[in-house]
Chains A and B, each alone.
Chain A
């Protein structure tokens, strides 16, 4: 495997692409006891409409997540128990753009990795076992529907987007998942769980060559075709300016969001993420003048925060939390963005923010999970996330200001609110 040294981060990444198209990344951590494996497919909640064998398929909302649940079934029973015998507790998640399976263990790593690669690549379920999962996932959906943080975020996305599958809830609804059959799940597995659509990342005290050998031995010899996907032809305009829901909560909550310009795959994506994060820090981060003003006026509290997120064909920036006056905070955010665009950022504040943001990226490398997920996102998005120090070297105030000018404009703004139910 080819080692790449990242001197400024004190990290080495060993890379290899197998003949079947699987990308492998191994990050040796000789001083750690824990070994972590992450096996991900580029297939998530947004990939409901795609082409398989020349035919377009329109699948129910929540199907990628449903498949994630069913992949743990094996001919012998269940992969959870097989891994548990070796002390490894596996888990998985489905995001908008990927499904990832992982475990960490201190012993029997090779054995565990073989189990992981094998259960994720070999589907084993029947219509009966698929039907049985309805109850479990139904309760998962009920649980998130009662969660105001989820509601406010999901409703913001539905306000920002008109047709994009960013509108689709990753878990689907109790109704949509009732249409999922074993046959459709097998089709989705065939389309997306091919080695050429997947990435294996291992972090820990392991021999990189052994990881690659194991993947070569366990996984199919052939890759798969590129699967065309349709995320919807999203116009620049919003679906809805404001959305509001009453729930059993203690105080009003809000998210103020901006529909940003989508960012193409490639190195631009890393740059955009760093610029988006800096824009958030400068605009409303804890060190920003706006945060301090709103906090001391009692308009926001420690729950306030936000982020810039990239999805396939979509990007957005949001901020929010609990507030007695969401409209006032949203207006203040817009005014602050206008002011920065007009007057620029104080140079000292800009330099401090750069420094703090660099530190926060470095801190992220303590977490094996975070390393694996960001390398995987980088692979799928066509950039190398470990090159962030170089991007920080080259970012200027003008870059951030032009990001704000392009994205933080009134026409792109929507507001999602949750208010307490009246007794």
Chain B
């Protein structure tokens, strides 16, 4: 892996590999996550995907992509730490598999550059019809988070726990702010984004670095670059004096219990391992106890939010088992904190993490997502570096780090009939 600067605030992470059928090319603008701008940036991703000067509608774009053997260019909006990453991920079959021996990287890079630098416009604004339809789609997408109750509950927990902090802002922003967007405001946001936001580019495939750089320099020749905004400061999370408990009612058959914890330690590698022991794998204490021993749920797992120092637990239970599940989750956290582990548990947690790091290089998508996360949060370790950190963690460090983990917020989604 190498990371080089191509232009002001434009960086290329080059990940050479000959083992894939495809090449991946991703261009991501990295901006601070804020309520004020999140929805506008999310809307930009989809409006730019509607058409360019040379391919002014979806039909013309689709035609170009089909010619490149069904290359895909997907608009993406992701949250990485307290940054929002907006851009495109292109996947195209590697030149070595093009039946006619064509070069596909250059035309794909060029189309990516057009999507960013040369959107179709009228009177200095995006086309009114594209603006209106993508705005409606974005509002629908924000509302549709409700349809998957597990993600809905997970996102509600995070939003409540991090109220007033950037980390509590959902990646698409919210409905009200989206509704208030108008064409001029969005076009200004576009100019601002492409001239001042850091642009992180990722390439994985068989082409030489110089060829990739040439293709990108030419594709992005018209990218306006002004003063590049510095990365945001990390906002520390504020632990409430007493854990906050929230309940919401919807017409559902299964209850969702989410529990958010705040970590007082900076020892990320120890917390990562501690979380894996607690609820981060199918051998964790939550899986073995809440699910296997007590049969309370089908899923109960925990996630370590590295950049923010939080752990969140997510589970689906019968409404009346709220207290049982709550108590058991606390009991299992305590067990990790006190070091109540069987020999195999630590070994299993460690090798689960090591296996994930070791196999990351086998997936272009995982590599891109990993390095984007690193770039967005200002880190530069490779998966191998993180693996070494995990190898070096002692049990004492785990218990000490997990000892600082405190309950912060509880979110419970329950059914309507439970009111009776």
A residues with a Cβ closer than 8 A to B are: 8-10, 29, 31-34, 78, 80-81, 84-89, 91, 104-107, 132-137, 139-140, 142-143, 145-149, 247-251, 253, 286-287, 289, 291-292, 295-296, 298, 301-303, 322, 352-353, 355-360, 362-363, 365-366, 368, 421
Contact = CB atoms under 8 A, between A and B. Distances in A.
A357 B253 CA distance: 40
Interface of B: 17-22, 46, 57-59, 62-63, 65-71, 91-93, 96-97, 99, 129, 133, 136-137, 140-141, 143-150, 250-254, 281-283, 291-292, 294-299, 316-318, 344, 347-348, 351-352, 354-355, 358-359, 361-364
Contact of A84 (B149, B251, B291, B351): B351
B359 A34 contact: yes
A85 B344 contact: yes
A295 to B, nearest CB: 7
Contacts of A31: 17-19
A357 B70 contact: yes
6 contacts: A31-B18, A106-B354, A139-B296, A250-B140, A359-B68, A359-B92
B281 A89 contact: yes
Contacts of B140: 250-251, 301, 322
A249 B144 CA distance: 7
A301 B361 contact: no
B97 A362 contact: yes
- Residue with the greatest number of chain A CB neighbours at <10 A, chosen from B283, B318, B364: B283
Contacts of A9: 21
Given A32-B362, A91-B282, A248-B252, A146 B149 contact: yes
A78 B345 CA distance: 13
Given A84-B281, A363-B93, A366-B364, A136 B66 contact: no
- Residue with the greatest number of chain B CB neighbours at <10 A, chosen from A9, A84, A136: A84
A147 B252 CA distance: 10
Contacts of B362: 32-34, 368
B73 to A, nearest CB: 11
B71 A359 contact: yes
Given A135-B295, A142-B318, 9 more contacts: A87-B351, A87-B355, A139-B254, A139-B318, A249-B146, A287-B62, A291-B58, A301-B136, A362-B97
A129 B350 CA distance: 29
A88 B355 contact: yes
B65 A85 contact: no
Given A142-B253, A363-B22, A148 B348 contact: no
A296 B131 CA distance: 11
Nearest to B148: A147
Given A31-B18, A286-B58, A302-B137, A135 B296 contact: yes
B182 to A, nearest CB: 18
Nearest to B281: A89
A249 B65 contact: no
A142 B316 contact: yes
B298 A136 contact: yes
Nearest to B91: A363
A366 B355 contact: no
Contacts of B136: 298, 301
Given A32-B19, A249-B147, A250-B143, A356 B351 contact: no
Contacts, number: 188
Given A81-B348, A251-B143, A359 B283 contact: no
B66 A356 contact: yes
Contacts of A8: 99
Contact of B67 (A134, A286, A355, A368): A355
B418 to A, nearest CB: 14
Nearest to A291: B58
A134 B143 contact: no
Nearest to B136: A298
B66 A352 contact: yes
A273 to B, nearest CB: 16
A422 to B, nearest CB: 10
Contact of A139 (B20, B68, B316): B316
A389 to B, nearest CB: 8
Contact of B150 (A143, A352, A359): A143
A121 to B, nearest CB: 21
Contacts of A250: 140, 143-147
Contacts of A301: 136-137, 140-141
Nearest to B74: A302
Contact of A105 (B70, B298, B318, B355): B355
A32 B133 CA distance: 43
Contacts of B91: 363
A362 B97 CA distance: 9
Nearest to B299: A143
- Residue with the greatest number of chain B CB neighbours at <10 A, chosen from A9, A33, A295: A33
Given A87-B351, A143-B298, A365 B146 contact: no
A139 B298 contact: yes
A36 B116 CA distance: 38
- Residue with the greatest number of chain A CB neighbours at <10 A, chosen from B46, B298, B354: B298
Contacts of B299: 139, 143
- Residue with the greatest number of chain B CB neighbours at <10 A, chosen from A105, A135, A358: A135
Contacts of A286: 58, 62
B351 A85 contact: yes
A7 to B, nearest CB: 11
A421 B363 CA distance: 41
Contact of A363 (B21, B65, B150, B283): B21
A139 B299 CA distance: 8
Given A81-B283, A248-B146, A251-B144, A352 B67 contact: yes
- Sort A-B residue pairs by CB-CB distance and give the 10 closest, nearest first: A356-B70, A135-B295, A87-B351, A359-B70, A359-B69, A287-B62, A87-B355, A84-B348, A250-B143, A34-B359
A129 B136 CA distance: 51
A296 B254 CA distance: 37
A287 B140 CA distance: 23
Contacts of B70: 355-360, 363
A143 B316 contact: yes
B90 to A, nearest CB: 12
B281 A366 contact: no
B59 A137 contact: no
Given A287-B62, A352-B63, A362 B359 contact: no
Nearest to B130: A296
A272 to B, nearest CB: 20
A353 to B, nearest CB: 7
B359 A139 contact: no
A253 B140 CA distance: 12
Contacts of B65: 287, 356
Contacts of A359: 68-71, 92-93
B21 A292 contact: no
Nearest to A73: B292
A87 B349 CA distance: 8
Given A80-B283, A250-B140, A87 B93 contact: no
Contacts of B250: 248
- Residue with the greatest number of chain B CB neighbours at <10 A, chosen from A33, A104, A134, A146: A146
Contacts of B145: 250
